Every structure is written in structure tokens, then in C-alpha cells.
A and B are shown apart, each in its own frame.
Chain A
């Protein structure tokens, strides 16, 4: 009887843990989509001339990206290795095979965001500095993301 309870309990616990890990994967997708929104509909849209320059909106978008960079390391915890995302893109196993390389990508991304934050004060300075962020998104996606 006791054994039975222990087994059921362990199973439930196991399910709980897997669900929590799967939740990290879902959080990643949400954050990444927000990255896309901030970059696409605010920052790049302004640089492309689709939106008027609005310093408050630019700063808000950059703050979110800065915050995201801080959250990323924990979201790619070892326990999420091999878990699949619902979306069209998957985390590559290389994230856990080359941890130093992945950490360097996150650092370079954070640095690009703070650089733009320091520099973007009007349309011209935004246009000149923004490409550094997109380059870092692309650099991480080049090595560590797989389209399915």
C-alpha cells in the first residue's frame, strides 16, 4: 500500500517536473515572439520609416529586450534539453553541447542592446546603431536555432 502511494506520488511528481520544464520552453517561445514584436513593430519599423520616431516607445522596447537577455540563461536550463517547442522553431542541441558558445551569444546580445540604448537618441542615431541588435539575434539563430 505504502509502496503504491510512493510510486503514484513519484509519478505525479515526475509529471509535475516535466510540465514545469515544458513551461520553460513555452516561456522561451513567448519571450522570443515578444523580441520579434519589439524589434519588428517598434525598433525596425521606426528605422524603416513605417512609424514616426517616439523616444518613449524606443526606450520601452529596448528595456524589454534588456530584461529578456537577463532571463535567457535560466530558460535554457539543462533540464529542458530535448524538449520540443510547439512552434515552428526548435532549440538546437548545440545549446547544451557548446554552453560557452551559447553564453557568449547571450552576452553579445545584451551588449548590443545596451549599446543601442546609449546611442539611440533620434532617427539617424537609431538607424546607425540598431543593426547591431538584429545581427546578434541572427548570430544566435544561425548556430542555435533550427526551423522545422
Chain B
């Protein structure tokens, strides 16, 4: 091979790399909501509290073992990619989100992008929250502003390379982040639509109740069909009609209020946190979620790991 040929080949390789990087850079640009998209609006703080409860923000951001309104963060969230620590989102001006604009907050919750233009990790479940209505998010911001400001910042996440590169989350978003708003189904009842909005969006039920692929994306064909606990040990149950077929609507609504199953079990593990949030909602909202869950076709979940020996 002549030297000229080699040079040409090298040039090509460099060009391909540059082009590849440009594509990578372009497709991983974090999305935002500009201030100009926010028309004048008087937020409804009471609805903001409903959004806060439905979204379960306190489950992760409340200081562990403290009241659900103390959003100083600090809770550890283990995952297959490393350990995340929920940040302080109390309205403290420097340690929390006290100085954030409404647009910055909406961008964080709906687009998963920080005020400095970086991607958030999907441990913050914006993959579901992006379905929330903009007005709901503005009400939520107004509600959080009424809570006590707390000082102090939580620890840095403990993530090994390459999971610690925020830009790479852009690739994850490209594959798994369906940036489409919630569209009501006119053929269904108002309760079903409200339930679908709460279960798929703010309630982020699928984030735990679905199997994930090795890149951490939800396996859409088995959405709600259960899988290994994303936060560590144990199994998250199937909540399609495969498992909940014998539960009546009122059983599901009662479960969401109390954590009690119609079989008489009382739920445990990380679901207990979810029930604390659902118990705050109105009976109408819990019923709506039950109506929607009853409509989910039965789907088989992934195979369970074989039972361990009964003797250790």
C-alpha cells in the first residue's frame, strides 16, 4: 500500500470520527422549555400539592425519616449503574431550588435537563413525569415554594465510568425517552383518562413495575408486568390483569389508600413509600387509577429466578 493510500484512509477515518461525534453531539443536546413558552398564569397551590403527592417527590427528596415536606434530599438510591443521592429540592436559595425560574423547574421535570444545560440521570423519573401537563408542573413549583427551605447539599452520586458522563444520558434519552405529551383517549371515560394520566405520568408506576433492558430502558412490551427490583434485592410484582385480574376496582383503590391487598397481605418494601403518597390523594383519583389498571391486558412478566434452597 502506498503512503498516499494510507493518508487517504486515515483522512477518511478521521472524517468519520468527526462526523460521528457531530451526530452524537447533535442527538444528545439536552431539551429545554424556554421562558417564552410560559404564558402569564396564576398557579393553583392546592393542585400543586396533589401533583406533589401523585408524583411521590417526597419518597426520594424528603430527608430520610423526616416529614414529607422537608425536601433536603440525601436519600440513597441504589441501581445497577451505581448509587444516586437525591438532591435538595427545598426552596433554599443556594442549596435548593429557591432561585430557580419556573422555566428551569419545568425543564428539569419535563425534559430532564438542568439549569446549566446538562442531562439529569433517569434515576429522577422524568421518563414518566414528562407526560405531566405544563400547568400541573407550574402548580407544583408554586407548592414546593411554600415548603420550608433547608440548607445543606447531599453527597455526590457514586457512579463508575461511563455511567458518570452526563452527556451519555443523551443517548439513553434518544433510545428510551419518548418526548411526547399525554394524549387523552376520547373513546374512554374521564376517570380512565385521569387514571392513565396518573399511572403513566406522575405516579411513574412503570418505573418499578416493568422489566428493564441492560441499558436501563423499560421493556415496553412488558410494561407493568413486573421484574427484578431496580433498587436492589427482591422482585416487583406484575400489576397487569395477569396478577390483578381477581382484584375489583374498589380493591385496587383500597390498596392504594391502605397498602392492604384483598388477600389480606399488607404491602412492604419500597411500595410502602408509594402508598404514603397515594393515601394523600382524593378517593376520586385513587378510583381513577383503579379503573385504568383494570383495563391493562394481562401480560406475562419475565421469568422469576429459581427459588433458592430452603436450607442454608
Contact = CB atoms under 8 A, between A and B. Distances in A.
Contact of B268 (A82, A83, A138): A138
A40 B237 contact: no
Contact of B264 (A37, A82, A86): A37
Contacts of A147: 229, 234-237, 268-269
Nearest to B270: A142
B237 A134 contact: no
27 contacts: A36-B264, A36-B265, A36-B266, A40-B262, A44-B254, A48-B254, A82-B312, A84-B308, A84-B310, A84-B311, A134-B259, A134-B260, A138-B272, A139-B272, A141-B266, A141-B267, A141-B268, A141-B269, A142-B268, A142-B269, A142-B270, A142-B272, A142-B273, A144-B268, A146-B234, A146-B269, A148-B304
B242 interface: no
Given A18-B311, A146-B234, A148-B234, A38 B264 contact: yes
B269 A39 contact: no
Contacts of A145: 268-269
Majority secondary structure of chain B interface residues (helix, strand, loop or mixed): loop
B67 interface: no
Contacts of B258: 44, 131, 134
B189 to A, nearest CB: 23
A83 to B, nearest CB: 6
Contacts of A148: 234-235, 304, 307
Interface in B220-257: 229, 233-237, 250, 254
B264 A44 contact: yes
B65 to A, nearest CB: 11
A22 B264 contact: no
A5 to B, nearest CB: 25
B33 interface: no
B275 interface: yes
Interface of A: 18, 22, 35-41, 44, 48, 82-86, 89, 131, 134-135, 137-142, 144-148
A100 to B, nearest CB: 15
Contacts of B309: 84
Contacts of A48: 250, 254
A33 to B, nearest CB: 8
Contacts of B304: 148
Closest 8 CB pairs of A and B: A40-B264, A141-B268, A36-B264, A137-B266, A142-B272, A146-B234, A145-B268, A138-B259
B99 interface: no
A138 B263 contact: no
B94 interface: no
B227 to A, nearest CB: 12
A89 B237 CA distance: 12
Contacts of B259: 134-135, 137-138
A148 B272 CA distance: 16
A138 B254 contact: no
A40 B310 contact: no
Given A40-B263, A146-B234, 19 more contacts: A36-B266, A39-B260, A41-B264, A44-B258, A48-B254, A83-B310, A84-B312, A131-B258, A134-B258, A134-B266, A138-B259, A138-B272, A141-B266, A141-B269, A141-B272, A142-B270, A145-B269, A146-B233, A147-B234
A41 B265 CA distance: 11
Contacts of A138: 259, 266-268, 272, 275
Contacts of A142: 268-270, 272-273
B312 A83 contact: yes
B261 interface: yes
B269 to A, nearest CB: 6
Contacts of A139: 272
B22 to A, nearest CB: 47
